[in-house]
Amino acid sequence: MHGALPPPRTPLDPAFLERLRERFGRDLHQSASMLHQHGANEAHFDVVLPDAVVFARSTEDVVDLVKLCVAAGVPIVPFGAGTSIEGNAVPVRGGVSVNLGEMNQIVAVSPEDFDCTVQAGCRREQLNEHLRDTGLFFPIDPGANATIGGMASTRASGTNAVRYGTMREAVLSLKVVTPDGKVITTARRARKSAAGYDLTRLYVGSEGTLGIITEVTLRLHPIPETISAAVCGFETLEGAVTTVVQSIQSGVPLARVEILDDMQIRAVNAWSKLALPEVTTLFFEFHGSPGSVAEQVEIVGMLAAENGGGEFAWSNLPEERAKLWKARHEAYYAAVALRPGAVGWATDVCVPISRLPECITETKRDLAAASLPATILGHVGDGNFHVIFAMDPDSAEEQAEVQAINARLVARALAMDGTCTGEHGIGLGKQDWLVEELGDAVDVMRVLKRALDPRDLFNPGKIFAL
């Protein structure tokens, strides 16, 4: 299920380690706790330790590390905040984990151009904190306080994507250390360009397999004059999804629209001390001028009423809104907490929005028959949703059951012309499905990988078996 098994490991050559120590001194780590931190993951994948960890403090550090690793034939795996959930940063073939978390400088902000450049280890919350006085913000919000480099590497998106796009749209340019140790800049700072192959988009979502991103130039957006948030419960799941489809069709520029099933609402109520009716619920956010927001709200309210929605419960004060979205962001932990002692097992798919009601309904039927608790929540405006299982970590039967349900979920999404992952990436967990999804196109990816990383040293074992 989880891609090719790692080949037998050989210990690092002491001479190589000595060169690392000479070059990186106290930024080279081999303590058990440090190795464990970089070999673990927030999901259910086995811990695989790197042989060493190096903290990079500059692009030059990364260049030198790349050259040393490539010369010695040692794998090199970039590590940001460790919040990915398909095992994307697990060093399955050992080698060096390069931690970019200290490269967290905000290099430049150009408010007039609506862009900024940050080092790869900058976290998204840190960036928005920094931007506050400029009147601009960086909208991509995957929930976790991930690094911008990690978000670029996994093509992250999240709750705002229906309005502001994903990392695919947000990244203007990247600074990348290539496998041959060169530093390239993939694009200039112009908002658009027709100059050659789109290397920016090639590296966005490549999960560290083609080189190491050290800087990211991002598009920013003006903080809306008015932000209004609401929740609305629905009689049926179809009614909730239809409301969203019709809203988009009416041209309403929804900023956020999240679906939480009854089970997820139950979990959120318990975890975040809320008292929402335990039915399928939409969380909305509207951005715009006061007039535009009022208009959006009117249209969506009318459509919700026509589709079996209840009253809108409004959160117009920043504190109330923050509470609502905090509850949404903690939905993963809330779902896991449904069952004491459980670990989380999360998956995501994305389908054309017309197929979403059917996809979610069939999935819900599967979950209802399962022996363990599971919730559904998702970015309904994009056709993207998650299933979170609260799994007994010691039960092989439950693991097999979850894998079977996940396999049916992905097969269902693919049959609907959807994708096996809307925003988590392939990592270790979705490799077989990628081939099912894209067939011969995966061979083209392999050709690109072999051309750019002929010795397979950059995050080897991820996305596809070579």
Instruction: Give, as ranges, the residues between 401 and 430 that touch its own copies (CB under 8 A).
Output: 413-414, 417-426, 430
- The minimum distance between CB 36 and its own copies, in angstroms, equals 27
Distance between CA atoms of residues 207 and 100, nearest Å: 14
Which of 161, 331 has the CB closer to its own copies?
A: 161
Which of 49, 156 has the CB closer to its own copies?
A: 156
Spatial CA neighbour of 92 closest among 451, 427, 449 = 427
Planar angle of CA 300, 305, 307, nearest 5 degrees? 95
**CA distance from start to end of the chain:** 16
- The minimum distance between CB 169 and its own copies, in angstroms, equals 6
- The minimum distance between CB 221 and its own copies, in angstroms, equals 8
Which of 177, 231 has the CB closer to its own copies?
A: 177
Mask of contacts with its own copies, 214-233, x by CB under 8 A?
Answer: --------x-xx--------
- Number of Cβ within 10 Å of residue 348's Cβ equals 25
Stretch that binds its own copies, among 21-29, 164-172, 267-275, 322-330 (CB under 8 A): 164-172
Cα separations in angstroms, 456 against 13, 20, 168, 195, 447: 18, 20, 25, 29, 12
Rule CB under 8 A: which of 182-201 touch its own copies? 182-199, 201
288: contact with its own copies by CB under 8 A: yes
Residues 6+ apart with CB under 8 A from 213: 78, 120, 149, 152, 153, 174, 175, 176, 203
Of these, 6, 143, 165, 310, which contacts its own copies (CB under 8 A)? 165
How many residues of this chain interact with its own copies, rule: CB under 8 A? Answer: 95
Rule CB under 8 A: which of 103-142 touch its own copies? 110-115, 135
Which of 73, 135 has the CB closer to its own copies?
A: 135
Rule CB under 8 A: which of 22-41 touch its own copies? none
Stretch that binds its own copies, among 3-11, 121-129, 242-250, 364-372 (CB under 8 A): 242-250
Which of 337, 448 has the CB closer to its own copies?
A: 448
Phi–psi pair at 221, nearest 5 degrees: -130, 150
- Which strand (E) or helix (H) includes residue 318? helix 318-329
Query: What one-letter code names the amino acid at 376?
Result: I
Residues 6+ apart with CB under 8 A from 69: 75, 76, 95, 96, 457
- The minimum distance between CB 432 and its own copies, in angstroms, equals 12
